Amino acid sequence: MEKARCNMTEFWKEHSKAATVEEMMLDSRARELTEQELPEILSMLPCLAGYKVLELGAGIGRYTSHLLTMAGHVTAVDFMDSFVEKNRQDNGHHSNAAFIQADVTKLDIPQNSFDFIFSNWLLMYLSEEELQSFIEKMLGWLRPGGFLFFRESCNHRSGDSKRDFNPTCYRTEAQYSHLVSSVQMEGPEGGQTFGFDIVLKKKVQAYIEMKNNPNQLCWLLEKVRRSSNTQNGFTTFQQFLDNKQYTRRGILRYEKIFGAGYVSTGGPSTTKEFVDLLNLKPGQKVLDVGSGIGGGDFYMAKTFGVEVLGLDLSDNMVDIAMERAITEKLPSVQFEVADATKRTFPEGSFDVIYSRDTILHIDDKLALFKRFHSWLKPGGQLLISDYCCSEKPWTPVFESYVKQRGYILYTPSQYGKFIGDAGFCNVRAEDRTAQFIQVIKTELHEAEAIKHEFIKEFSEEDYLAIVNGWREKLERSNSGNQRWGLFYATRK
């Protein structure tokens, strides 16, 4: 480990003499890339007003200068004297700046000292042992509710320089995600346990477009208290989704029934019907919350010429959507792993917010709809389909189903009232259960028609899981307990 650190020191001493952005990024197109990627990355950050920020691997201050205008105070740390000095020369006139030359693994920082930690191309230079320990340290340095943002080059180097120092490990996207989700620590008082929840994970679009490099990944994480009431044995809801409800195999077998690109009721037919209600125009910006594997997003972009950002909390869903995006060759459609209850966007960012059978997972629907209202432009449209329920009492079977899935359901009229209370106007709340029942019957019939093909591709067990699940859904809907709602509203 010490030998690797010495080698790294010698490498950067040799290649930091001029302290230029080309040296720091090890890329001949550094200035051009910075123009594109810097605003993109800054747009992923939460509001930093009044925040104490720790910037790790700050280099010559490519981000420091911007963070200083956004935050209450920034402490910029880098390994190389020449980079720190250049950063100090350019940004030292700010009264809210501090500069430290240090090996980040040896920093001694009190617990709960910072609101936000920003790291760009740093973790790949740490060994496995160092990385695990360092993520735990960063969790401790953050106050509860604080955020960690890091960007890494996964699978291969970031620049084009043949001089590139060989980092200890070019890790995969999955390795980083697993590391940050598994780290936990006890707080200094009360025995509370803390961990990281994902706010977003996203590829850097500038590198995809300019260098055909999809391996630049950003994560934004929030330090949260860990409850002893885990989701079906999983530490986070995302882990539950990806390991239980939406495994890759489970997603693909849903798609086999719903249609290529779809994992929600009615597939392309209901998508076309509902999207047509929006009267989309070329160039409009659409946010799809719970985008799944992207069928609806590709349909909207190809048919109406809109730009779509698809959010989904399931890594597996977004992985498949990104694979499909390569085939579709539609740069106007982007995806990110994100928690819509924590993600932030500037007010008036979108013309349309669209969501299909997703918000059933979210507890505080009113708070989410208020966020939607803020994100929409004046006159913007909201369109949601979602699972709903009848008034209680419910049958024991339905009670058990809702509890096992972790759903939070309301009647269509209650759901519509939440939307109105969030500030929307022209609210339409429609009970579409009759349509839901008919669609399920159609999908059951289609499943029977492709039974042999399905079993050959998956298994008889998979087939029965789908078919029996649909039959149970029919029973719940016919009993009156399970409802399906369609909701439309606009922002004034």
Condensed to tens digits (0 to 9), the pLDDT of residues 348-357 reads: 999 999 999 9
230 inside domain: no
Does residue 357 sit in the same domain as residue 317?
A: yes
Does residue 207 sit in the same domain as residue 60?
A: yes
Report CA 102 to chain centroid distance, whole Å.
32
409 inside domain: yes
User: What SS3 string covers 111-153?
Assistant: CCCEEEEEEECCHHHCCHHHHHHHHHHHHHHEEEEEEEEEEEE
What local confidence, expressed as pLDDT, does residue 231 receive?
A: 59
What local confidence, expressed as pLDDT, does residue 237 receive?
A: 81
Q: What is the mean pLDDT of the chain?
A: 91
Cα 56 from Cα 79, distance rounded (Å): 9
Q: Is the pLDDT of residue 488 over 50?
A: yes
460-486 pLDDT, tens digit each: 999 999 999 999 999 999 999 999 999
What local confidence, expressed as pLDDT, does residue 8 receive?
A: 64
Of 225, 260, 294, the position where a domain reaches its end is 225
Does residue 313 sit in the same domain as residue 408?
A: yes
Cα 354 from Cα 486, distance rounded (Å): 11
221-254 pLDDT, tens digit each: 999 998 765 556 677 888 878 888 789 999 999 9
Q: Is the pLDDT of residue 129 over 90?
A: no
Tokens read off for 38:
């810097």
What local confidence, expressed as pLDDT, does residue 157 receive?
A: 53
Percent of the chain residues topping a pLDDT of 70: 90
Does residue 194 sit in the same domain as residue 313?
A: no
Using DSSP's 3-state secondary structure scheme, residue 417 falls into helix
Does residue 218 sit in the same domain as residue 243?
A: no
What are the backbone dihedrals phi and psi of residue 162, each rounded to the nearest 5 degrees, phi first? Answer: -75, -10
Q: Is the pLDDT of residue 183 over 80?
A: yes
62 inside domain: yes
272 inside domain: yes
Does residue 331 sit in the same domain as residue 209?
A: no
231 inside domain: no
Cα 355 from Cα 339, distance rounded (Å): 13
232 inside domain: no
Domain that holds residue 188: 2-225
Instruction: Look at strands 142-153 and 333-338 and give their pairing.
Output: unpaired
What local confidence, expressed as pLDDT, does residue 24 receive?
A: 63
Does residue 320 sit in the same domain as residue 248?
A: yes
Does residue 460 sit in the same domain as residue 436?
A: yes
Q: Is the pLDDT of residue 347 over 80?
A: yes
Of 187, 205, 225, the position where a domain reaches its end is 225
Tell me how many domains the chain contains.
2
Does residue 285 sit in the same domain as residue 380?
A: yes
Does residue 431 sit in the same domain as residue 339?
A: yes
404 inside domain: yes
Does residue 414 sit in the same domain as residue 394?
A: yes
Mean pLDDT of 116-141: 92
What local confidence, expressed as pLDDT, does residue 20 receive?
A: 74
Does residue 24 sit in the same domain as residue 168?
A: yes
Which region among 159-163, 322-326, 372-376, 438-442 has the lowest average model confidence (pLDDT)? 159-163
421-472 pLDDT, tens digit each: 999 999 999 999 999 999 999 999 999 999 999 999 999 999 999 999 999 9
Exposure on the CB side of residue 112, measured as CA atoms within 13 A: 10
What are the backbone dihedrals phi and psi of residue 58, each rounded to the nearest 5 degrees, phi first? Answer: -70, -20
135 inside domain: yes
CATH number at residue 293: 3.40.50.150
259-315 pLDDT, tens digit each: 999 998 999 999 999 999 999 999 999 999 999 999 999 999 999 999 999 999 999
**CB of 89 closer than 8 Å to CB of 61:** no
pTM: 0.90
46-68 pLDDT, tens digit each: 999 999 999 999 999 999 999 99
Residues sharing a CB contact under 8 Å with residue 146, sequence separation 6 or more, in sequence order: 114, 115, 116, 117, 222, 223
Of 165, 196, 225, the position where a domain reaches its end is 225
